[in-house]
Amino acid sequence: MGTDFFEISINFVKMVAIFLLMVQLVPALVWVERRGSAFIQNRFGPNRVGPLGLTQLLADAIKFIFKEEFIPSHTRKFLFYAAPVMSLIPGALAFGSIPLSLPFHVEAFELFGQTMGPYRFAFQSFEMNVGIVFVLGISSLGAYGMLTAGWASVNKYSVFGALRASAQMISYELALGLSIVGILMIYGTFDFADMIAYQTGPLTFTWLGSEMTIPFLPNWGIFYQPLGALLLFIAMFAETNRAPFDLPEAEAELVAGYHTEYGGLKMNMFYIGEYGHMMVASALMTTFYFGGYNLPFVEPETINEILLAAGFSATKASLLTSFTFFLVLFTKLLIFLWIFIWVRWTLPRFRYDQLMDLGWKKLLPWALGNTIVTAVVIFVMKTWS
Amino acid sequence: MTSLVAVLILTLFVIAFGAGLLYLVSLVGPKPKFSSLKDASYECGLPAQETGHSKIPVKFYLTAILFILFDIEIIFMYPWAISFVDFIENDMGLHVLLSMGFFLFVFIFGLIWEIKSRALEWE
């Protein structure tokens, strides 16, 4: 966390800020989802409250807060309250461990007559050298929130929603885990920052002993592992329980799935968890296959030098550079979040046996094949060069 | 180690945030009034047919057990994957590739056996 009070407090503030960013993005995404779905279906969507219906979500939030807090007596009380809180944790922890931008440096300065030494702050809640393993481990804990909610509700719809959700989540976790083995072989690291550093510059690879460079393409993972990227993206949809894999909340069969008995803010917390999961999925896609916070053909040093030449101090220039690259990552994140929403309103829902077949009999063998082919190709290219 | 402390602090913060929010919301809303209809288990307009926990298909347990087996096998591939290029550069590439080939053979054999024994069929 840090060595003195300044570093510890900045790290704590950063952590809280990233968590609140995640929570605050949810109303914005709900608005985009409602407006976007309306335009896809040739409707207007919310457009009465405020400009473009933007304050609709504020009105919804007030309604959530002032709703009657009724708990049916047949539920398991403690677990019933604990489940929404549990569903918040995995998204927050996983999102916190993904680097959102370059680390920024603070020069030494004087405070109360003491010299506070130069600092380096990562643009993420905490730096993990096992990055992806941590994210996979934490995000699979999301199943506990759903199972607890279903079990505590003592309602057949909730129980079956929770069971379906967890069975679907663990089935697709296999394909998810296996689809990134190929790209891990290429990067040779678990650390997100190292992966992003690998993806700088133009596309460069060794082909039959000679170095090839394609100057107009960035060195992104998608060009090395297009199949892996596709498999990861499909598995991510199932992991987040989004359409076309939203079987746990198939309303014709299961009412609302595991949160049938929930209402008001407690139900809203499940939504924050789901959208948090979507943000983690988008951030993972960006970090693995789309260069993370890299802007193609623009070096961070160039921006830093321009800012220094414009008369900013070293600390401010470093901070502004980090913020610029944060905006790059944020743009990529929003593109993926929009694809999540777009697909939901385009594709119909699968049947449950089709869903399990897709996970176990199609995605898993394809991911296996991808791993084997990648290993053999890397071996041949490295040995005969 | 320090990052694990940070993880712990963030976890506690999120729990406090969620629990605090739930508590504050319970203070501002209207006081819940009891009614036997509101208290009933949710059902689509009829009196609830099954109250209490209903029976759960054993299929879900089977899926969970299979998941654990395969997931552990996949986790074993991770350290192999990140050190694969290092092994090739130290002239141990073929040995490592063949070892993983044997491991994958067991994995694929298990998967085929599982599909053949109809453990993954859902009606």
Segment A56-76 shows an average pLDDT of 82
Q: Which residue of A261, A265, A368 is in closest CB contact with B22?
A: A265
| Prediction pTM value | 0.87
H or E element, residue B14: helix B2-28
> Which pLDDT score, from 0 to 100, does residue A188 have?
85
AA identity, residue A125: S
The residue of chain B with its CA nearest to that of A67 is B29
> Which pLDDT score, from 0 to 100, does residue A209 have?
66
Angstrom distance (rounded) from CA A129 to CA A371: 23
> Which pLDDT score, from 0 to 100, does residue A208 have?
65
Using a CB-CB distance cutoff of 8 angstroms, which residues of chain A are in contact with residue B41? Answer: 72, 74, 154-155, 261
pLDDT of residue B1 exceeding 70, the answer is no
A360 touches chain B (CB under 8 A): yes
As given in the structure block, the two tokens for residue A13 are 């503030």
Segment A234-252 shows an average pLDDT of 78
Share of residues in chain A with pLDDT > 90 (%): 3
**Which residues 195-254 of chain A have a CB within 8 Å of chain B?**
none
Average pLDDT over chain A reads 84
**Cβ-count burial of A209 within 10 angstroms (0-12 exposed, 13-18 middle, 19+ buried)?**
exposed
Segment A316-324 shows an average pLDDT of 84
pLDDT band at B60 (very low <50, low <70, confident <90, very high): confident
Angstrom distance (rounded) from CA A110 to CA A19: 30
At residue A159, φ and ψ (nearest 5 deg) are -60, -45
**Cβ-count burial of B31 within 10 angstroms (0-12 exposed, 13-18 middle, 19+ buried)?**
exposed
Using a CB-CB distance cutoff of 8 angstroms, which residues of chain B are in contact with residue A265? Answer: 21-22, 25
> Which pLDDT score, from 0 to 100, does residue A366 have?
92
Q: Measuring CA to CA, which residue among A239, A380, A350, A221 is closest to residue A290?
A: A221
pLDDT band at B51 (very low <50, low <70, confident <90, very high): low
Q: Could you tell me how many CB contacts below 8 A there are between chain A and chain B?
A: 189
Q: Which comes out higher in pLDDT, residue A370 or B118?
A: A370
Q: Residue A131: helix, strand or coil by DSSP? A: helix
When scoring A360, A368, A373, A374 by the number of chain B Cβ atoms within 10 A, the one with the most, hence best to mutate, is: A360
- Angle at A284 (CA atoms; ends A11, A146), nearest 5 degrees: 85
**Which residues 129-168 of chain A have a CB within 8 Å of chain B?**
133, 151, 154-157, 159, 163, 166-167
The dihedral formed by the CA atoms of A105, A110, A115 and A120, expressed in degrees to the nearest 10: -10
**A382–B56: do the CB atoms touch at under 8 Å?**
no
Angstrom distance (rounded) from CA A232 to CA A16: 29
Angstrom distance (rounded) from CA B71 to CA B65: 10
Q: A224 to each of A303, A312, A336, A377, B79, how far by Cα in Å?
A: 28, 39, 20, 11, 20
Helices (H), chain A: 5-40, 56-65, 77-96, 131-139, 142-153, 156-179, 181-187, 192-198, 226-239, 251-254, 264-289, 300-309, 314-344, 352-357, 364-383
How large is the ipTM? Answer: 0.84
pLDDT of residue B30 exceeding 70, the answer is yes
Segment A363-373 shows an average pLDDT of 90
Helices A314-344 and A5-40: crossing angle in degrees, nearest 10, is: 30
Q: Which comes out higher in pLDDT, residue A249 or B88?
A: B88
Residues 6+ positions from B102 with CB-CB distance below 8 Å: none
Would you call the peptide bond into A365 cis, given omega within 30 degrees of 0 as the criterion? no
> Which pLDDT score, from 0 to 100, does residue A274 have?
86
Q: How far is A330 from chain B (nearest CA, A)?
A: 22
Q: Which comes out higher in pLDDT, residue B45 or B73?
A: B73
Under 8 Å between Cβ of A361 and A354: no
| pLDDT tens sequence across A174-190 | 888 888 898 898 888 88
10 Å Cβ neighbour count for A114?
A: 10
Segment A338-366 shows an average pLDDT of 86
> Which pLDDT score, from 0 to 100, does residue A261 have?
78
Under 8 Å between Cβ of A123 and A318: no
> Which pLDDT score, from 0 to 100, does residue B50 have?
66
Segment A280-304 shows an average pLDDT of 84
Segment B1-16 shows an average pLDDT of 84
The residue of chain A with its CA nearest to that of B49 is A156
Using a CB-CB distance cutoff of 8 angstroms, which residues of chain A are in contact with residue B120? Answer: 356-357, 360-361
Angstrom distance (rounded) from CA A363 to CA A236: 12
Residues 6+ positions from B94 with CB-CB distance below 8 Å: A379, A383
**A89–B15: do the CB atoms touch at under 8 Å?**
yes
CATH number belonging to domain B2-116: 1.20.58.1610
Q: How far is A102 from chain B (nearest CA, A)?
A: 18
> Which pLDDT score, from 0 to 100, does residue A385 have?
65
pLDDT band at A162 (very low <50, low <70, confident <90, very high): confident
Using a CB-CB distance cutoff of 8 angstroms, which residues of chain A are in contact with residue B78? Answer: 133, 181, 184, 190
**B56–A184: do the CB atoms touch at under 8 Å?**
no
| pLDDT tens sequence across A200-230 | 877 777 766 677 777 777 888 888 888 989 9
> Which pLDDT score, from 0 to 100, does residue A250 have?
67
The residue of chain A with its CA nearest to that of B77 is A181
Segment B78-99 shows an average pLDDT of 85
Using a CB-CB distance cutoff of 8 angstroms, which residues of chain A are in contact with residue B74? Answer: 174, 177-178, 181
Q: Which residue of A11, A19, A68 is in closest CB contact with B32?
A: A68
Q: Measuring CA to CA, which residue among A201, A141, A159 is closest to residue A74?
A: A159
Q: How far is B18 from chain A (nearest CA, A)?
A: 5
H or E element, residue B112: helix B93-116
